[in-house]
């Protein structure tokens, strides 16, 4: 596992080596119930990940239960690349984020030695956010992705997180 790369204030990049084959990592990313299990969000039982779909769910991570996550699915290239757009750090239940630009989160899977998978996440578009929210969103999502990719998804794939 590596520390995030901060190439600019516009993008976060995080890479993690996962002890699972690509097909298993892909399913954890693109099956809505599995994504919700490791990401800490409860999607509707009939939620489907497909290009153009909007998924909504309630965050289940302690301290964030008041947050509704909404993602718009972009690209879905089986066992290779998956993306969504969302409003980063949209945690204030009284705020309307709908007029703000969304950032783009792209997950790329690559083969690694011994049948493992290298997962790279790039979230870009922070420079387009309103100045008042930009730095906090960047900082918060940087920390969030570290936890999600270095702790939660490896634990989920190892059967330690359900």
Residue 34's pLDDT is what? 97
Q: CB count, 10 Å around CB of 68? A: 12
User: How many domains is the chain partitioned into structurally?
Assistant: 1
| Residue 133 belongs to a domain | yes
Residue 119, domain CATH? 3.30.530.20
**Tens digit of each residue's pLDDT, the chain (162 residues):** 554 544 578 999 999 999 999 999 999 999 999 999 999 999 998 999 999 999 999 999 999 999 999 999 999 999 999 999 999 999 998 999 999 999 999 999 999 999 999 999 999 999 999 999 999 999 999 999 999 999 999 999 999 987
Is 49 inside any structural domain? yes
Q: What is the pTM of this model?
A: 0.93
**Domain that residue 145 falls in:** 11-157
The verdict on residue 1 lying in a domain is no
Beta pairing partners, 117: 18, 111
For residue 3, is it within any domain? no
First to last CA, the chain: 22
Are 125 and 84 within 8 A, CB to CB? Answer: no
């Amino acid at each position: 596992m590596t520390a995030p790369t901060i190439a600019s204030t516009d993008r976060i990049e995080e890479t993690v080596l996962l002890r699972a084959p690509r097909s298993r990592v892909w399913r954890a990313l693109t099956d809505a119930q599995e994504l919700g299990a490791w990401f800490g969000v409860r999607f509707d039982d009939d939620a489907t990940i497909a290009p153009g779909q909007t998924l909504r769910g309630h965050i289940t991570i302690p301290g964030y239960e008041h947050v509704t996550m909404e993602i718009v699915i972009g690209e879905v290239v089986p066992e290779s690349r998956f993306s969504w757009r969302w409003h980063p750090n949209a945690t204030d239940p009284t705020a309307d984020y709908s007029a703000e630009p969304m950032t783009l989160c792209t997950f790329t899977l690559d083969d690694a030695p011994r049948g493992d998978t290298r997962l790279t996440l790039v979230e870009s578009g922070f420079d387009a956010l309103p100045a008042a929210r930009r730095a906090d969103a960047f900082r918060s999502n940087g920390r969030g992705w570290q936890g999600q990719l270095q702790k939660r998804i490896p634990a989920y794939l190892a059967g330690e997180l359900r």
